[in-house]
Amino acid sequence: MEQDAIETIYLDHAATTPLDPRVVEAMLPYLRDHFGNPSSIYGLGRATRAAIDRAREEVAQALGARPTEIIFTSGGTESDNTAIRGVAMARRADGNHIITAATEHHAVLHACAWLEPLGFETTVLPVDRDGRVDPDEVERAIRPTTTLITLMYANNEIGTIQPLADIGRIARARGVTFHTDAVQAGGALPIDVDALGADLLSLSAHKFYGPKGVGVLYARRGTPLLPQQPGGGQERGRRSGTENTAGIVGLATALTLAVGSLESDARHYGRLRDRLYDGLLAQVPDVTLNGHPTERLPNNLNVSFRGVEGESLLLNLDMHGIAASSGSACTAGSLDPSHVLTAIGLPRELAQGSLRLSVGRGTTDEQADRVLGVLPATVAKLRNLAAV
Ligand code: PLP
């Protein structure tokens, strides 16, 4: 096979991460040999059941939860849907009102919207310029009919961390179930379900060096939850379907590894993120940071370059082997800024010129410097072209 001429500098870890080789090793026996259905009573089935039980204990331990509170799903999207639709429907007799925020992932916003034709109402709270929700506003939005608050731990585009513990306390005091989408926080921030005050919490393995297509929904004991995928009754009836044994083993291994190296990973990410940002500030005029300056994910840098189109920037970076992401998507020939950048009040021009660089375990100083050797000149070139 032909080799790639240039090594890819992967700066899109918020989109997905590569599999950790230790995770691959842990998964292989369940892809190769241990193929039994975990619900079967013979030895082959018992072996896979035991692996899932161990994985459940590991995940519970990592989150400060009980094993019975862990539900394995197909990823972040399913965990969010199971939580939001499951609680809304299970608590229907208590009310029909949900509170969320404008910068949530579409898995959350669309799950709330899906409920509306069924008689549910959603309050979508605004965020400030840094992307933070005001806990007082959450409290003011609570109605006698509010059954669920769903707010993310950290934002996937701009990295802003929400004041979750404060919101968790408000929810608890008012008898409202509290769900958090912690998909981007997995492997980057400490996650303890009690410290966060979460009744439900979503995670996805592919964001922390685990496999794609497998996730977790933590559901605190006693949380009302109507199953969204009825069937054979797996996961204590809360999520039916034959378990993805290898994926579950991979998720648990990846999460345990991520918790073990959380502090050193976060230091590594923060250092490289700051190196990139400082380098850009020094070399590029008119660059602004999107998201909160300090309350942000250590691996996330989101900046806007005035006078530059994000998609053109991405294509140019790709030619230099740099994989990154932008906050605008090209639809029908026009560049639509993302709902997140719109929600923080970014003017269209700046939203269109946004770039997200998300660093990872494999990112090096040398890679950061190579990006800094390319990006300023690329921005200058695109600005010149735009001027013409
Ligand atoms: N929630 C957030 C904040 C995310 O960043 C993502 C993925 O990008 C998801 C949910 C969806 O997760 P998955 O890709 O596992 O369905």
Write out pLDDT tens, residues 317-369.
999 999 999 976 555 455 678 999 999 999 999 999 999 999 999 999 999 99
- What one-character-per-residue DSSP string does 47-110 give? HHHHHHHHHHHHHHHHHT--GGGEEEESSHHHHHHHHHHHHHHHTTTT--EEEEETTS-HHHHH
Distance in Å, CA 287 to ligand 1 centroid: 28
Q: Kindly report the protein residue whose alpha carbon is nearest to atom 9 of ligand 1.
A: 76
pLDDT for position 203: 98
Q: Are 314 and 326 spatial neighbours (Cβ–Cβ below 8 Å)?
A: yes
pLDDT for position 387: 82
Q: Give dist(CA 205, CA 363) in Å, integer.
A: 19
pTM exceeds 0.85: yes
pLDDT for position 335: 67
Distance in Å, CA 144 to ligand 1 centroid: 31
Phi/psi of residue 125, nearest 5 degrees: -75, 145
pLDDT for position 336: 79
Q: Are 256 and 184 spatial neighbours (Cβ–Cβ below 8 Å)?
A: no
pLDDT digits (tens, 9 = 90+) for 118-162: 999 999 999 999 999 999 999 999 999 999 999 999 999 999 999
pLDDT for position 329: 58
Q: Residues with beta carbon inside 6 Å of ligand 1?
A: 75-77, 80, 105, 107, 152, 156, 181, 183-184, 204, 215
**Which portions of the chain are predicted below pLDDT 50?**
1-3, 332
Q: Measured from the CA of 77, which atom of ligand 1 is nearest?
A: 16
Strand order in the sheet with 287-289: 287-289, 300-305, 354-358
Selected catalytic residue, list 118, 173, 330, 386? 330
Strands 121-125 and 97-101 come out as parallel
Residue 112 annotated as catalytic: no
pLDDT for position 3: 46
Q: Give dist(CA 124, CA 172) in Å, integer.
A: 20
